[in-house]
Amino acid sequence: MIFDDYRDRFHDIALSRDECGVLTVRLHSRDGSLKWNGRAHRELSELWGLMSADRDNRVVVLTGTGEYFISVTDHERLTKPLVHGEVREQDWDRAVFEGVRLVTHLLEMDVPVVCALNGPAQAHSELAVLSDIVIAADHAYFQDLPHAPMGMVPGDGIQLIWPLLVGFNRARYFLLTGQKIDADEALRLGVVGEVLPAHQVLERAYEIARELASRNPIMMRSTRHVFMRSLRRAVVDDLHYGLTLQAFSGLSGQDFYAERGAE
């Protein structure tokens, strides 16, 4: 696999690589902040595997565009069909297929990942916090808006990573209530490594990434494997199960919401 094979393959992901081997993955929607959607879900499930096969990548910098890392501009419109049983079984099957690969392929990346968290992550915060190093903008926050608060099981990786980061009870509160964990609180909890003004975040991420890229690549790949080993075991055990329950709860919503509407 070479970079030119996948550089321009995606709509919602812009890719570039410098002479140090630092690959930048920038999430976007028409060059503004990424508005989470099904296409982004599909593309990210494909991207990590392609990147892993390219041995010229030394370090990955993951970031967003504009004010948000990932935004959910109309979470009711996005989530309602899923929780009301309006999505077909074959579409849920595809979503589970993609969801498993979105997380497992990211964990299989054998080079360090530095997240330049340019703003709030209102959905799929696991993409940021599964990075080895997270540098957060001071206005950023983490939230899980589209799942439990809207009636959907949080089964696509966030239910695995957040208890490891902040503890079981705090994670359940965060996921069930849609709580926002702001950048300073995330720093206090150890979720992020640094909090900086937004205009300094990407520059600092590159500074760290290029220093990592200057190290022995075999040592860095092996270090990444050491870090990811326990997370991979957790994902193998529980990720598909969580996604399947997410699909099951969505399919069950048709009867539940029909009964509520009849009351």
Answer yes or no: 126 catalytic.
yes
Q: What is the pLDDT, as a whole number, of residue 250?
A: 85
14 - beta bridge partners?
26
Q: For residue 263, name the pLDDT band (cuts at 50, 70, 90).
A: very low
pLDDT tens for 46-72 read: 999 999 999 999 999 999 999 999 998
| 230 pLDDT more than 80 | yes
How do the domains of the chain map onto residue ranges?
Answer: 3-262
pLDDT tens for 120-178 read: 999 999 999 999 999 999 999 999 988 888 888 998 899 999 999 999 999 999 999 99
Calculate the average pLDDT of the chain: 92
H helix or E strand, kind and range, residue 54: none
Q: For residue 85, name the pLDDT band (cuts at 50, 70, 90).
A: confident
Q: For residue 75, name the pLDDT band (cuts at 50, 70, 90).
A: low
Q: What is the pLDDT, as a whole number, of residue 260?
A: 67
Q: For residue 33, name the pLDDT band (cuts at 50, 70, 90).
A: very high
Inter-residue contact 46 to 1 (CB < 8 Å): no
To the nearest whole percent, how much of the chain has pLDDT over 90? 77
Q: How far apart are CA 147 and CA 191, in angstroms?
A: 21
Q: Give how far Cα 160 sits from Cα of 97, 234, 238, Å.
A: 18, 7, 8
Q: For residue 262, name the pLDDT band (cuts at 50, 70, 90).
A: very low
Q: What is the pLDDT, as a whole number, of residue 59?
A: 98
| 6 pLDDT more than 90 | yes
Residue ranges of alpha helices (H) inside the chain are 38-52, 75-83, 89-108, 126-129, 158-166, 168-177, 183-189, 198-213, 217-262
Write the CB contacts of 94 (distance below 8 Å, at least 6 apart in sequence).
none
The more confidently predicted of residues 193 and 234 is 193
Q: For residue 76, name the pLDDT band (cuts at 50, 70, 90).
A: low
Q: For residue 106, name the pLDDT band (cuts at 50, 70, 90).
A: very high
CATH fold, domain 3-262, is 2-enoyl-CoA Hydratase; Chain A, domain 1 (3.90.226)
User: Which of 19, 86, 108, 126 is an active site residue?
Assistant: 126
